[in-house]
Structure 1
Amino acid sequence: MPAAPDFPPAPDLVTPKRALISLSDKTGLIEVAQALVAAGVEIISTGGTRAAIDKAGITVKDVSDLTQFPEMMDGRVKTLHPKVHGGLLAYRDAPDHAKALSDHDIAPIDIVWIDLYPFENTVASGGGFEAAIENIDIGGPAMIRSSAKNHPYVAVCVDKAGIDEVIAALQDAGQTSLSLRKSLAARAFARTAAYDSAVSTWFAAQLGDSYPLRKTIAATRLQTMRYGENPHQSAAFYKTGEDRPGVATAKQLQGKELSYNNVADTDAAIELVAEFEQPACVIVKHANPCGVAVGPDLLTAYKRALECDDVSAFGGIVALNRKLDAATAEKIVEIFTEVIVAPEADDEALEIVKAKKNLRLLVTGSLPDPLSGGQVFRSVAGGLLVQSRDTARITAADLKIVTKRQPTPTEIQDMLFAFTVAKHVKSNAIVYAKDGRTAGIGAGQMNRRDSARIAALRAQEAAEKIGLSESLAKGSACASEAFFPFPDGLLEAAAAGATAVIQPGGSIKDADVIAAADEAGLTMAFTGVRVFRH
């Protein structure tokens, strides 16, 4: 490891004399170049960037004139030269460095604005292997890292926001401050790290390596939050490069900023509502669905979902899989709701929601594909758990009927609906469902029997609220996202009024559970697939 050199203290203020610019996205280039020239800064540039500056009638020096070496190998070699990196890395106030600059006729470079080849965009747009390789920038990251390392003298910018800060400093005082240069350097190192992460992630995918030895995750901050799960915790929301519609890519049309818990709950709601092809509504509270329903239209679906548990729905998240219309919006705003999320919203619905100024309305443009792959992450102390997304989807053909009584077509539909919802409920999970809506949901209990009891209680309370004499669970299908280890949970479902049960199977007590189902007159299907969700 190199020893730290005995350099003089870094200056607070630097008066820039020379800038190097190399851009793929040339938005704002001419205005910045004009401002630099007005501040007395000489501009050095390359390729298309130099041509654009020159075409605007602004004096610009080609890097080849600086290095006295031609650009070669299709542009792969042009800035990797001591005349460039010496000008970036030299510690101006160190006598040895100053002598090297003089001896080799190297001019210091004080401002760098580079945005890197568009590798991420090339991959996102479906560019092939060779196109992606050619868009891996080499000279750009090298110059950025050199500049960031030498932030005592160099202001390095990796985006328009950064160069705008530099221009503002020059127009205000004609100098850059050490605090600004440090801030820019930190952002620069983060940018090259994210760039390298994108390249390494893509390359591993080309090799079919889902879990490489070294895994990096790059993310861009969308917002800082007032607090995290609790007021004493700090938090921020980041967007990764995953191409998946959801809360991170949604457009917020109105309402307060999303909170940490809003984001988590909204994500859970979107992922579940995307499972359904019919018009559907999902109401989520504390990352668990409390009401799910389909219907001929959104308004009907929302009403049916709300009836499942209107107590828990208060202050919840409402997710829809169709364009939000006025009638549905009018009904939703009757109770306090934190977030409405839908693919789109019509103008009349927007006007209705505006009356609730704190209500957040998000539009996603489209919905995530429940069958698409990708990975999900969870942090643990000192580490990160990574797994593939749960894309399990059970159809009628997948069911293995293990009881004497065969299910009716209606019972099969109810079982599949209930199991789809159970996939999105925190374990241990029990879901009663009937006629395309949940009747009762029991989530997150330490044993399956208690989840069945809680779900039954919700179903009974819901029936009483809407004036029914029998529990909503009467004649329902009961879904368990993991196997019943003992008959007790299944018997609770039977007591609640369920007539059909769907579960993965696979317990050493399966025979006892099947016998209990037969004795109770239930029909039961095994899926062979567990959809546990911690």
Structure 2
Amino acid sequence: MSGHTIDPSLYRHRDAVPVSRALISVRDKTGLLELADALAAAGVEIVSTGSTASTIREAGHAVTDVSSVTGFPESLDGRVKTLHPAVHAGILADLRLESHERQLAELDIAAFELVVVNLYPFVETVASGADTAVVIENIDIGGPALVRAAAKNHANVAIAVSPASYPQIVKALTLGGTTLAQRQRLAGEAFAHTAAYDTAVAAYFAANVGVRAEHAASASASAPASAPDEEARVDFAPTLTLDAELQHTLRYGENAHQSAAIYATPGSHGIAQATQLHGKEMSYNNYVDADAALRAAYDFTEPAVAIIKHANPCGIAVASADAADPIADAHQRAHACDPVSAYGGVIAANRVVTRAMAETVKDIFTEVVIAPGFDPEALELLRTKKNIRLLELPAGYGRDAREVKQISGGLLVQDADRFDDFSSAGWTLVAGAEADAATRADLEFAWKASRAVKSNAILLASHGASVGVGMGQVNRVDSCHLAVDRAGERARGSVAASDAFFPFADGLQVLLDAGVRAVAQPGGSIRDDEVIAAAQAANVTMYFTGERHFFH
């Protein structure tokens, strides 16, 4: 349905619009009383709702309740307050038109020149883990209607959706009113605000409500993780809108001739929300590597450290059981995997960085250290290194449930690889003798750590630490050679994990010749019999995990 068409010659120009009447309805009370003080001092009539009205009234200012404007009480537990012609006509009247001015007079409705609204905390409610009923009650209806109405009528009305906008409103009161340019900017911010809000609501429904929950239950009951029921795939929304806020522009992108910026998704608790404690500005590549390092370190519940270079691990390790300082021990063991490649790398720890860990890091050229925190002595020591960047993760760090990757002309969306059953209890022994407890622990570590390696991925491990990594090769044989070469003598007696099956026995044979004593791999090749035969001939233990972990 198209809007009304009005003869442009009927419009009267308005630039500065004095504020004589304001509608205020906010959940976030930050700066509210300062704004109310300024409005009252300027003789502005304040119309308000619920707790906002109570807060302003308790501060000693006169307030007109919305119910006295509408002649209708707030009802349905506050679901209906401002959805009334007496409110919306006062916001939407275009007073550049004599006909609108005349109709307001006939209806005995006063115009608003300022609307101050912020919305129910939907994103925060979802992030808190609240149940569905509570989340639904935090979907704002009247608020977005007020915001959009005021923003549409910005020729006559200023709209403020954030306390950050209050100072300019206060200043405008002293200068005779808001300007058209100012109202246009505020309107743009308001429409962006409601668009982001609606996007968050749509994303919640797509990911958490109805079809997804039902199909997730049926899929878990009837289908293995490696082959999800087709019905479980129907929970992708027909349209996708990305909601992210600009944090800041970066010096450049992957290369110096590429512009770049970082955006943050509301409600997330990842690297985009990390606090930088020291060092020069983060680069695009720093963010990419640091996020990959976090992905690797936080795969483990034990104290763990991952060192990343160009999005691939130089080393991953968990702490020894008897380590005096577990996170320092994990770092030393991860660094020992490939000290040459670790030069200029990025370090992620899943525990607070201690003084002992800082002592080992300070003598290694490192671009970034990211962790859930830093002991004061560790922070003081690392701050003596001018160029190292220190990032502290937000509380509740976690990866987003879905991943989005841009391709030409569109986007690929998938559930994140959150498969977390790395226990060997469900593996199938296909060659050699059952592994003892220590070997099983190493195989489970290697299998988990291989998920952080770009495909084709081969990872050799010993005593909870990687000793050789082969990554990103176009065939698995080359990855095997690379892992063995990196490990050197440490390959003998180590265990190996492969992120996907061996298509032929030749790759496995490289590992067997190097002295690997046990292997974990998904299985599933049409030549599995040949691969199994090679392991049996070498009297090497091999398990099929039944799951792969490609990472491109």
Q: Does 1:185 align with 2:187?
A: yes
Q: Does 1:375 align with 2:411?
A: no
Task: Choose from 486, 489, 511 the match for 2:507.
Answer: 489
Q: 2:297 maps to what in 1?
A: 273
Q: 1:163 maps to what in 2?
A: 166
Q: 1:463 maps to what in 2?
A: none
Amino acid at match of 1:422: S
Answer yes or no: is the 8 Å Cα contact 2:12–2:97 preserved in 1.
no
Q: 2:465 maps to what in 1?
A: 437
State the distance in 1 between where 2:13 and 2:314 align: 59
Q: 1:221 maps to what in 2?
A: 246
Q: 1:16 to 1:263 in 2, by over 3 A?
A: same
Q: 1:52 maps to what in 2?
A: 55
Q: 2:178 maps to what in 1?
A: 176
Q: 1:317 maps to what in 2?
A: 346
Choose 253-262 or 439-448, whichever is displaced more.
253-262
Residue 240 of structure 1 deviates from its aligned partner by: 2.7
Q: 1:394 to 1:9 in 2, by over 3 A?
A: farther
Answer yes or no: is the 8 Å Cα contact 1:271–1:368 preserved in 2.
no
Q: 2:258 maps to what in 1?
A: 233
Residue 345 of structure 1 deviates from its aligned partner by: 1.4
Q: 1:356 maps to what in 2?
A: 385
Q: 1:120 to 1:366 in 2, by over 3 A?
A: closer
Amino acid at match of 1:32: L
Q: Give CA deviations for 1:380-410 in whole Å, capped at 9, x if unaligned.
A: 3343333222233322212222124554544
Q: Give CA deviations for 1:207-250 in whole Å, capped at 9, x if unaligned.
A: 1424333444433333333333233333333333456x532343
Residue 326 of structure 1 deviates from its aligned partner by: 0.9
Q: 2:2 maps to what in 1?
A: 2
Q: Give CA deviations for 1:79-133 in whole Å, capped at 9, x if unaligned.
A: 1222221222222213332332333233221211111223333444444444333
Q: Give CA deviations for 1:259-308 in whole Å, capped at 9, x if unaligned.
A: 22222222221222122243321101122111112232222221221121
Alignment of 1:324-363 (within 5 A): 324-363=353-392
State the distance in 2 between where 1:39 and 1:365 align: 42
Report the 3-state secondary structure (helix = DSSP H, G, I; strand = E; otherwise coil) of the residue aligned with 1:248: helix
Answer yes or no: is the 8 Å Cα contact 1:321–1:367 preserved in 2.
no
Choose 227-236 or 326-335, whichever is displaced more.
227-236
Alignment of 1:391-430 (within 5 A): 391-392=418-419, 393-430=421-458
Q: Does 1:455 align with 2:483?
A: yes
Report the 3-state secondary structure (helix = DSSP H, G, I; strand = E; otherwise coil) of the residue aligned with 2:500: coil
Choose 442-451 or 512-521, whichever is displaced more.
512-521
Residue 365 of structure 1 deviates from its aligned partner by: 5.9
Q: 2:203 maps to what in 1?
A: 201
Q: 1:475 maps to what in 2?
A: 493
Answer yes or no: is the 8 Å Cα contact 2:496–2:519 preserved in 1.
yes
Answer yes or no: is the 8 Å Cα contact 2:127–2:267 preserved in 1.
no
Q: 1:499 maps to what in 2?
A: 517
Q: 1:382 to 1:186 in 2, by over 3 A?
A: farther
Report the 3-state secondary structure (helix = DSSP H, G, I; strand = E; otherwise coil) of the residue aligned with 1:14: coil
Choose 359-368 or 412-421, whichever is displaced more.
359-368
Task: Choose from 59, 63, 66 the match for 1:63.
Answer: 66
Q: Give CA deviations for 1:28-70 in whole Å, capped at 9, x if unaligned.
A: 2111111123344332212221222122222332223333444
Report the 3-state secondary structure (helix = DSSP H, G, I; strand = E; otherwise coil) of the residue aligned with 1:472: helix
Residue 141 of structure 1 deviates from its aligned partner by: 0.7
Residue 2 of structure 1 deviates from its aligned partner by: 1.8
Task: Choose from 389, 401, 417 the match for 2:416.
Answer: 389
Residue 526 of structure 1 deviates from its aligned partner by: 1.0
Answer yes or no: is the 8 Å Cα contact 2:123–2:267 preserved in 1.
no
Answer yes or no: is the 8 Å Cα contact 1:274–1:367 preserved in 2.
no
Residue 484 of structure 1 deviates from its aligned partner by: 0.9
Q: 1:224 to 1:105 in 2, by over 3 A?
A: farther
* Root mean square deviation, CA, Å: 2.5
Amino acid at match of 1:286: H
Aligned length: 520
Amino acid at match of 2:65: D
Residue 497 of structure 1 deviates from its aligned partner by: 3.4
State the distance in 2 between where 1:414 and 1:21 align: 61
Q: Which runs of 5+ in 2 are unaligned?
A: 213-234
Choose 291-300 or 375-384, whichever is displaced more.
375-384
State the distance in 2 between where 1:365 and 1:187 align: 26
Q: Give CA deviations for 1:340-398 in whole Å, capped at 9, x if unaligned.
A: 1222211111110111233222223667579xx92222233343333222233322212
State the distance in 2 between where 1:478 and 1:126 align: 39
Answer yes or no: is the 8 Å Cα contact 1:274–1:368 preserved in 2.
no
Answer yes or no: is the 8 Å Cα contact 2:273–2:394 preserved in 1.
no
**TM-score, length basis structure 1:** 0.90
Report the 3-state secondary structure (helix = DSSP H, G, I; strand = E; otherwise coil) of the residue aligned with 2:272: coil
Residue 310 of structure 1 deviates from its aligned partner by: 1.8
Choose 20-29 or 75-84, whichever is displaced more.
75-84
**TM-score, length basis structure 2:** 0.87
Answer yes or no: is the 8 Å Cα contact 1:273–1:282 preserved in 2.
yes
Amino acid at match of 2:526: I
Report the 3-state secondary structure (helix = DSSP H, G, I; strand = E; otherwise coil) of the residue aligned with 1:263: helix
Q: 1:223 to 1:51 in 2, by over 3 A?
A: same
Q: 1:217 to 1:9 in 2, by over 3 A?
A: farther
Residue 507 of structure 1 deviates from its aligned partner by: 0.5
Amino acid at match of 2:316: V
Q: 1:177 to 1:428 in 2, by over 3 A?
A: farther
State the distance in 2 between where 1:258 and 1:513 align: 45
Q: Give CA deviations for 1:458-517 in whole Å, capped at 9, x if unaligned.
A: 223xxxxxxxxxx22222212110011112221222344323222100011111222222
Q: 2:283 maps to what in 1?
A: 259
Q: Does 1:290 align with 2:314?
A: yes
Answer yes or no: is the 8 Å Cα contact 1:270–1:367 preserved in 2.
no
State the distance in 1 between where 2:408 and 2:41 align: 52
Report the 3-state secondary structure (helix = DSSP H, G, I; strand = E; otherwise coil) of the residue aligned with 2:422: coil
Report the 3-state secondary structure (helix = DSSP H, G, I; strand = E; otherwise coil) of the residue aligned with 1:501: strand
Q: Which runs of 5+ in 1 are unaligned?
A: 461-470
State the distance in 2 between where 1:413 and 1:131 align: 42
% same residue: 49
Answer yes or no: is the 8 Å Cα contact 2:286–2:367 preserved in 1.
yes
Residue 142 of structure 1 deviates from its aligned partner by: 0.3
Q: 2:221 maps to what in 1?
A: none
